[in-house]
Amino acid sequence: MLALCVTLALTPPEGATGQSAPFGPASTSPSTSSLSWTHLIPAHHPPPITNPAGAYDPKDQSVVVYGMVPYAPKGIAETWIYRSATWTQLRLNSTPPPLVATEMTYDPSIGGIILFGGETFHNVARSYTWEFVNSSWTNLTSSLAIAPPPRVYQAQAFDGALQAVVVFGGVAGPSWTEFHDTWEFTPTGWTNVTSRVGTAPPPRIAAAMAYDPAETELVLFGGLPQSSHCTTHPCVDKYTWVLHQGKWHMLNISEPGGRAGEGMTWDATTSSVIMWGGEGAGGPPFLNGTWSFTNDTWTHLNLSGPPGSWTPVLAYDGVLRSVVMFGVYVSTNSGYYDQTWKLG
């Protein structure tokens, strides 16, 4: 199944070439020097979930996690919320089917979370669109005139400037067809905006993307590029792209080493994008470095914390004023873990 991670070749950290980063006014952020990771050990918590998806719902003041629990013949779909430092499973009559490698994004225009894509237990990619509003799932798929082609491992985030959920890239099996199209979702439905976003990043899967409101841009980093775009095989991408004013641009800045399957979220406390984990040089053990992105600049934060992981959920909890992480994947031998951490 596509949920399995990929073993990668060594790619040393190095700078990128491309367009410089003139976008937006400089933002001022509090120092990240006081940040630290804390391992939370709640008595009740989700089981290990294969490639979980998650997002923070500020209306319900909770981190919502959805995914497939793999320890069943066809998988079991579960929805959990993390509120007031407590995990609660929601036992709902209607829910998306068991899916892996789907994505979830909070959309303030609907006051809820949009789920798109994912793969069934039988390795079939889907183009499902569901919304999660007021602790209830609704399947929007059949009501939409068009939708992106079925895919998994796409980058997905809400763009506050465009007022739309943006989807970029991803892959569909079994031939591993990679995408580099760009789609927007608004309350009126899906729109393919590929033709108007300029020169987009090359096709890729398992890249991370988050919105930086200080620079009014989406930040995209990493991923597994299509093999034809690699100088070594296999490879991971090491460049930073931004979607600013509806156009893609590659930044000419010093960057973290190439990686895929990392987690990324906006941290309102430090006014920076936080990136953690992923798979880089040579595959497992996975990466456990913490990076911040402020004023179009990456900074490595020398922090002790969770073991390295592939495709964790990272979401900023507005009540805790901390980044919450769930779903640490330790190694291909150890499998998925049900750990919860916070960065604050």
Q: What is the pLDDT of residues 280-327, one digit of tens each?
A: 866 667 888 999 999 999 999 999 988 888 899 999 999 999 999 998
Determine the distance from the C-alpha atom of residue 313 to the mean position of all C-alpha atoms in its chain, rounded to a whole number.
7
Give a yes or no: residue 275 inside a domain.
yes
Separation between Cα atoms, residue 58 and residue 108, nearest integer Å? 9
Side chain identity at residue 157, one-letter code:
A
Give a yes or no: residue 309 inside a domain.
yes
> By residue range, what is the domain housing residue 93?
37-343
With H, G, I as helix, E, B as strand and everything else as coil, classify residue 304: coil
Q: What is the pLDDT of residue 167?
A: 98
Give a yes or no: residue 125 inside a domain.
yes
Which letter does DSSP use for residue 215 in this model? T
Q: What is the pLDDT of residue 228?
A: 52
* Per-residue pLDDT at 219 exceeds 80: yes
Give a yes or no: residue 147 inside a domain.
yes
Number of domains in the chain: 1
Give a yes or no: residue 259 inside a domain.
yes
Give a yes or no: residue 129 inside a domain.
yes
Of the chain, the percentage scoring pLDDT greater than 90 comes to 68
* Per-residue pLDDT at 2 exceeds 70: no
Give a yes or no: residue 169 inside a domain.
yes
Go through 260-274 and write b for each residue having 16 or more CB atoms within 10 A of its CB, e for each that does not.
Answer: bbbbbbbbebbbbbb
Q: What is the pLDDT of residues 27-57, one digit of tens each?
A: 344 578 889 999 999 889 998 888 899 999 9
Mean pLDDT across the stretch 203-214?
96
Q: What is the pLDDT of residue 338?
A: 84
Listed range (67-71, 172-176, 192-196) with the worst mean pLDDT: 172-176
Give a yes or no: residue 10 inside a domain.
no
Residue-wise DSSP of 133-148: ETTEEEE-GGG-S--P
What's the CATH code of the domain at 236?
2.120.10.80
Please give the sequence-ordered ranges of beta strands (E in DSSP) within 251-336, or none if there are none: 263-267, 272-276, 290-294, 297-301, 313-317, 322-326, 329-331, 335-336
